[in-house]
Amino acid sequence: MASRAPLFLLVICFCCCSGHAKSFIKVVCDTTITGQVAHQSMLTCKVETTQEIPDLNIAVVVWKKPGDDQFLSALDRRPDKKNKFPPGYKVTLNDRTVSLVITDPKVKDEGVYSCLVMTDSGNAETTTYFKVTAKYEAPSVDSIDEKVVPNAHKSLICKATGGYPLGKLRWFDDKNTEWTKSAEPTIVNQTEDGLLEISSKLPLMKLSTSDEYICVVYNASDGKEGSAKIRTDDPDYDPSIQNPSKTSLSAIIAPVLVIGSLIVGLLLALLICRRRSQQQNRRPSTAPLMGTHDMVPNTDQVIDPPPPYCEEFKDNMA
């Protein structure tokens, strides 16, 4: 803080004097400089002269953010001056190019910046606008039961976070027909770091025809940044999870069924054979048979022999 005091005096002095001294220099910046959140940015301006000054000596460069009335960072090249930049904002000077390096831009860094240059041939100041952007993360879509919107049984909710400035969410079905007009107005939230969360709700009518919807997130200049699909027939549809488990389940069930029915069949066959051979041993020829055989009036071992496979089967089991 202590190092700022002389600088403020200097700036005040500049303000007072600049009206009197005719300056031969000017600072030229782009009107808008765009940077990305969390990607180092550089605001760069050039010092130009209205007449030839071969050995122009740039003594001081001061960057400020006037909107916040905020001193930012300064480079003082006069003898015996030590420069200590505040964290995140560094001033550089390369020949006649002056820059402010913002190492980790945030949404709050957006705004007007002024660059003041003091030389031995006069002073000049100009402004530039630093525009901050951040890419939205891939959106997420969920399906909820709809209880508020009349005639709708379900609603799809699409949400995209971490972007800046305000983008758009649009809805399409699997035939690329747009449904954005049927969606409710987009809800916008700003998180503490200034980034935006946008969400859109698309109510689905009972007769809605598509079983797949796509939510697409666009940035402020209509560039597509990401999309997400949802199937409405099966809201939990997730091809990466469901397909393998389905196949592995049927791979287990099929052999179990086959082996199980084989075992049951074998047991039944064994039971029938046992019963048949017991009946052959015990049964008097006049005794009625059980079950359907009750209907057979005259049962005889000759008419009703054990099926041949029974003998084979008994041999195999022995």
Binding stretches for ligand NAG (CB under 6 A): 133, 159, 187, 189, 197, 199, 219-221, 223
- Tell me how far the alpha carbon of residue 234 is from its chain's centroid: 21
Residue nearest to ligand NAG (CB): 223
Closest contact distance (angstroms) between CB of 231 and ligand NAG is 22
Judged by CB, which is closer to ligand NAG: 64, or 159? 159
Closest contact distance (angstroms) between CB of 189 and ligand NAG is 4
Judged by CB, which is closer to ligand NAG: 33, or 74? 33
* Of residues 42, 63, 160, the one with CA closest to residue 105: 42
Number of helical H runs and strand E runs in the chain:
3, 16
- The CA-atom distances, in angstroms, between 238 and each of 141, 232, 275 are 12, 12, 54
Judged by CB, which is closer to ligand NAG: 223, or 288? 223
Judged by CB, which is closer to ligand NAG: 223, or 260? 223
Closest contact distance (angstroms) between CB of 162 and ligand NAG is 11
For the chain, the first-to-last Cα distance in angstroms comes to 102
Closest contact distance (angstroms) between CB of 230 and ligand NAG is 17
Angle at 23 between CA 21 and CA 24, to 5 degrees: 150
Judged by CB, which is closer to ligand NAG: 221, or 292? 221
* Rama region for 143: left / alpha / beta (φ>0; ψ in -120 to 50; rest): beta
- Tell me how far the alpha carbon of residue 233 is from its chain's centroid: 23
Closest contact distance (angstroms) between CB of 172 and ligand NAG is 18
C-beta neighbour count of 155 within 10 angstroms: 19
